[in-house]
Chain A
Amino acid sequence: MIEVRELTKTFGKTIAVDRLSFTVRPGRVTGFLGPNGAGKSTTMRLMLGLERPTAGHALIDGRPYRETGEPLRRVGALLDASYVHRGRSAYHHLLWLARSNRIPSARVKAVLEMVGLEGVARARCRTFSLGMLQRLGIAAAFLGDPPVLLLDEPVNGLDPEGVLWLRTLLKGLAAEGRTVLVSSHLMSEMALTADHLVVIGRGRLLADVGMAEFIERSRATSLEEAFLRITADATEHRAQPEPGR
């Protein structure tokens, strides 16, 4: 379970996260949605202790992340698939992570097989495509077989087979009783994966409801339509038609 209470983060004059409160419960996939710049990634970084909150707190299974011993066994996170040393192999990237949390080396091989990278495990990460890096990031998140998963845009760059695989995997993990929080901008994919939604805009909570209720409440026919309606006033970056067209 992840509890976010009155969480606030400011960078200079910019308020990235604004008195945000919500709870991510185990046993279901929770989709974390919001327009670009809504504060999703900052919220996830705050949950993982990578940023210090200006006010409020985020607890994972009742504790601040920084006070968690062997955190990879409790929380698996994918923030940005590019956070790897390009000169290091996938195997060694996972091996140092495993060593840091006393996870047996056999688990490294297991997660590499699980994400389908066993054939390129010894290749340097600079030879990887975005989809392969994404698979490596997912492997890292699963390394400690954690009960809580935080995945920021894990579908990015995955091929159709990968998208289907991840969707099935996340649903299965939630069914086992794990807490799964996953952000994405792909509404059609989210509609297929998530049971519950947390929607934020400009750092504030816009919705914390079940998928069906969210669509119903907005009198929309799809998740995309409902999302666009609820975030209409909270969208910071909007493309404009080119002049003269």
Chain B
Amino acid sequence: MRGHGDRAPGTAAARPTRGLGDVLAAELVKIRSVRSTYWTLLTTPVVCAALGFLIGLSAQASLSSGRNVSGSFDPGFITFYGITLGQIPLVVFAVLLVGAEYSSGTINPSLTAMPRRSTFYAGKVLAAALVVAPVSLLSTAAIFTAAQLGLGPHSVTLTTEGMTRAAVGAFLYLTLIPLLATGVAATLRSSVLSLGVLLPLLFLGSQGLGNIPGVKIVTQYLPDQAGMLILFTAPLTGNFARPYGPWTGVAILAAWTTAALLAGHVVTSRR
């Protein structure tokens, strides 16, 4: 009884799954066919550029008036500080990619059409990365350019010491944080829960959670705190000092992202 099947119309067309490429094609159709994709992806470079310009402008005013007595002008951090807010729409995009499957119930037809859990998940993460990376690159370019406009006479170039490293770091940060968000959403299977965890983490982080003396020993290893170190071009002192270097910081963030994506894989495969 097994194996021979009952040949009926349509059977002849069935071929073995070629896998990842087909899942990727399906996921890209999903991404381009909902409005939230467009507003989240357009908002990111716009917010980055606007904040870059404003922060640059305020730094310029402060430098020009000679009030910057501490002498701690950090062009890298001034330029890229705006990504702490600019990352939010990108994180929302990355969360909705997975969360909307569960809230709408489309996870059921998704898994019926793509029954191999690992392939389905890998395709989804790959689609996220392929969409996030160019937006992240564009946003990094936008914030850099806008911040230099704001800094005016105090502007720097990529040849200024540490600036190329900071720019690469900003791109990596803006790419790794959303992928972390995709992993978290796949693990929690809910947009609301995921944003409830991620937004406070990323907002409190930007408020300097890593600099509070008592909890710093732990919080300095949080994904955003570790990934942001590379944005600084001047040496860090006091509470801002870290026991790890800029690239190690990026590696710590990458480790968090990997862990979240693996957790998402475990949860997706269990179904």
Contacts and interface: CB of A to CB of B under 8 A. Distances in A.
Nearest to B14: A73
A77 B14 CA distance: 16
A73 B4 CA distance: 17
Contacts of A82: 105
Contact of B106 (A68, A70, A85): A85
A97 B10 contact: no
A210 interface: no
A147 B6 contact: yes
Nearest to B2: A62
**Contact residues of A: prevailing secondary structure:** loop
A197 to B, nearest CB: 20
Interface string A91-109: 0110111011110000000
Interface in A95-142: 95-97, 99-102, 140
A77 B34 contact: no
A75 to B, nearest CB: 8
B8 A176 contact: yes
B111 A50 contact: yes
Interface string A45-78: 0001110100000010110011111111110010
A61 B10 contact: no
Given A69-B14, A96-B29, A85 B8 contact: no
Contacts of B113: 71-72, 97, 100-101
A219 interface: no
B108 A79 contact: yes
A88 B104 CA distance: 11
A1 interface: yes
B9 A177 contact: yes
Nearest to B111: A50
B109 interface: yes
A180 to B, nearest CB: 10
B9 A49 contact: no
A177 B10 CA distance: 11
Contacts of A100: 22-23, 25-26, 113-114
Contact of B30 (A25, A52, A96, A101): A96
Contacts of A87: 34-36
A67 B11 CA distance: 15
B207 interface: no
Nearest to B123: A100
Given A73-B13, A99-B26, A83 B109 contact: yes
B112 A71 contact: yes
Nearest to B3: A62
Contacts of B29: 92, 95-96, 99
A178 interface: yes
A179 interface: yes
A140 B34 CA distance: 19
A243 to B, nearest CB: 38
B14 A26 contact: no
B22 A86 contact: no
B25 A80 contact: no
The 3 closest A-B pairs by CB, nearest first: A147-B8, A92-B33, A100-B26
Given A71-B113, A88-B34, 6 more contacts: A1-B5, A49-B115, A69-B14, A83-B108, A88-B33, A145-B10
Interface of B: 1-11, 13-18, 22-23, 25-27, 29-30, 33-36, 100, 104-106, 108-109, 111-116, 271
